[in-house]
Amino acid sequence: MDRRSFVRGMAGGAALAAGPLLLPRAAFAALPAGALAGEELGVLPGKRPLIKRSFRPPNYETPIGEYASLLTPNDRFFVRWHLASIPEIDPRDWRLSVAGDAAATPLELSLEDLKHGFERVEVVAVCQCAGNRRGLSDPHVAGVQWGSGAMGNARWAGVRLKDVLAKAGIAADAVEVAFDGADQGALEKTPDFIKSIPAWKALDENTLIAYEMNGEPLPHLNGAPARIVVPGWTATYWMKKVVSIRALRKPLEGFWMQKAYRIPKGKFPVVDRFTTQENADTTPITEMVVNSLITSHLEGQHIRAGTPTTVAGIAWDGGFGIRSVDVSLDGGRSWQAAELGSDAGRFSFRPWSYSFTPARGGHVLSARASNGVGATQVDKLIFNGPGYHNNVIQRLALEAE
């Protein structure tokens, strides 16, 4: 049994036991300590064990071994909620209101209306929290201490948001489209989680109202019965359990746009802009930065000297497409091109692999992805207070003997 199937088998077995379980440190030592010390698996309804970061609201991440498959299984897909009151919605009772001051013909849709009134489309896309890897930030930053598992890749099916907006008579001068979900804060004073995207992104043919994930109805905790899917952009905009969509002539105000999920202007090599929400210093986060993850080996793993070895992983970006992945075995001094695997579209994880025959001794393994607009992963963290956009090149020590 190789190391990965061992980790998988162990995690699967954990589902049978009651209560929280401590995950042996070695199983997730693929990343620096920090977030990973004292890792605890937790079981949520409808899920196999995930790595627990907080229980109320539920924030749980996917174990890295799951990224060995191109699509992340629904029952192991990470879970992230800001508000603690998350209603289970009977799909027959769900209604979606599509309105706003820039909608000439507001409408209300049932799930059946959505499924039968509009063309069904699919997209494979990565859903990644802006704060993925925050827990690995050095210096430490506040917030959910995510390792590398606040992301997943799925085949989303639903309808184009633009088709629904057209039916609601969206005006040519709409500037943003706002989304609200059915979740609420446990306390009155917690601001409701409402997000908007620029009208141009809402009208992009890849932006969906999705009701299926990997061929199944969305899991409750991933947004049943329907969620917004914004391929390329960080998951903060992927509103779950969406109940209201509004076309707006003025920028959306409120805590979740004006205070949270913002980055310093000009600090990251991002292309997409959200101009109606920019201020003098900061801008809302938009597309994901180019990134990669080694999934085949764990930190400190022993490999056989003189025997062909394949290292593998995934790369992804904000929708420009992965152009290349380079691998280093000497801590970043020299790089060789990895082989890219199956292409499921520019919004998907892109698998890669690299084969070599290790000499006896220690090797420091790194992967570095570059995308279609010439952006590449960074050697040094681009520090920002909330710990967003961490795409520092990973360093994994292997011992060949």
Ligand X SMILES: Nc1nc2c(c(=O)[nH]1)N[C@H]1C(S)=C(S)[C@@H](COP(=O)(O)O)O[C@H]1N2
Beta-bridged to residue 94, according to DSSP, are none
Task: Pick what 71 binds: ligand X, Mo ion, none; C-beta below 5 to 8 Å, kind-dependent.
Answer: none
Span from 13-21, 46-54, 239-247, 277-285 in contact with ligand X (CB under 6 A): 239-247
* Residue 137 interacting with ligand X (CB under 6 A): no
Residue 62 Cβ, how far from ligand X at the closest point, in Å? Answer: 9
Using CB distances below 5 to 8 A depending on partner kind, what does residue 74 bind out of ligand X, Mo ion, none? none
Q: How far is the CB of 308 from ligand X (least distance, A)?
A: 37
> What's phi and psi for 193, nearest 5 deg?
-80, 100
Q: Which is nearer to ligand X, 237 or 354 (CB)?
A: 237
> CB burial class (10 A; 0-12, 13-18, 19+) of residue 112?
exposed
Among 30, 127, 161, 314, binds ligand X (CB under 6 A): 127
Among positions 177-216, residues that touch ligand X (CB under 6 A) are 181, 183, 193
Pick from ligand X, Mo ion, none: which does 285 bind, CB < 5 to 8 A by kind? Answer: none
Size of the site for ligand X (CB under 6 A): 20
Among Mo ion, ligand X, none, what does residue 222 contact (CB within 5–8 Å per kind)? Answer: ligand X
Among 134, 155, 162, 240, indicate the residue that binds ligand X (CB under 6 A): 240
Footprint of ligand X on 51-110 (CB under 6 A): 77-83
Told to check if 389 binds ligand X by CB under 6 A, we report no
Smallest gap, in angstroms, from Cβ of residue 146 to Mo ion? 9
Q: Would you give the distance in Å from CA 16 to the centre of its chain? A: 28
Q: How far is the CB of 302 from ligand X (least distance, A)?
A: 34
CB-nearer residue toward Mo ion: 60 or 94? 60
Residue with tokens 């380079």: 326
Considering beta carbons, is residue 29 or 129 the nearer one to Mo ion?
129
> Which of 53, 76, 201, 241 contacts ligand X by CB under 6 A?
241
Enumerate binding residues for Mo ion (CB under 5 A).
129, 235-236
Nearer Cβ to Mo ion (211/261) = 261
> Which of ligand X, Mo ion, none sits in contact with 82, Cβ below 5 to 8 A by type?
ligand X
Q: Of ligand X, Mo ion, none, which one sits near residue 241, judging by CB under 5 to 8 A according to partner kind?
A: ligand X
> Residue 96 binds what, of Mo ion, ligand X, none (CB under 5 to 8 Å, by partner type)?
none
Of ligand X, Mo ion, none, which one sits near residue 99, judging by CB under 5 to 8 A according to partner kind?
none
CB 371, min distance to ligand X, A:
21
CB of 268 to ligand X, least distance (A): 18
Residue with Cβ nearer ligand X (151 or 398): 151
Q: Closest CB to ligand X belongs to which residue?
A: 181
Q: Single out the residue of 137, 196, 214, 222 in contact with ligand X (rule: CB under 6 A).
A: 222
The entry of ligand X, Mo ion, none near residue 79 (CB within 5 to 8 angstroms by kind) is ligand X
Three-state secondary structure readout of 60-125: EECCHHHHHCCCCCHHHCCEECCCCECCCCCCCCCCEEEECCCECCCEEECHHHHHHHCCEEEEEE
Query: Per CB under 6 A, which region of 17-25, 161-169, 233-241, 287-295 contacts ligand X?
Result: 233-241
Question: Over the chain, what HEC string results?
Answer: CCHHHHHHHHHHHHCCCCCCEECCHHHHCCCCCHHHCCCEEECCCCCCCEEEEECCCCEEECCHHHHHCCCCCHHHCCEECCCCECCCCCCCCCCEEEECCCECCCEEECHHHHHHHCCEEEEEEEEECCCCCHHHCCCCCCCCCCCCCCEEEEEEEEEEHHHHHHHCCECCCCCEEEEEECCECCCCCCCCCEEEEEHHHHCCCCCEEEEEECCEECCHHHCCCCEEECCCECHHHCCCCEEEEEEECCCCCCHHHHCCCEEECCCCCCCCCCHHHCCCCEEECCECCCEEEECCCCCCCEECCCCCEEEEEEEECCCCCEEEEEEECECCCCCEECEECCCCCCCCCEEEEEEECCCCEEEEEEEEEEECCCCECECCCCCCCCCCCCCECCCEEEEEC
Prior bond of 225 cis (ω within 30°): yes
Q: Residues interacting with ligand X, by CB under 6 A?
A: 77-83, 127, 129, 181, 183, 193, 222-223, 235-236, 238-241
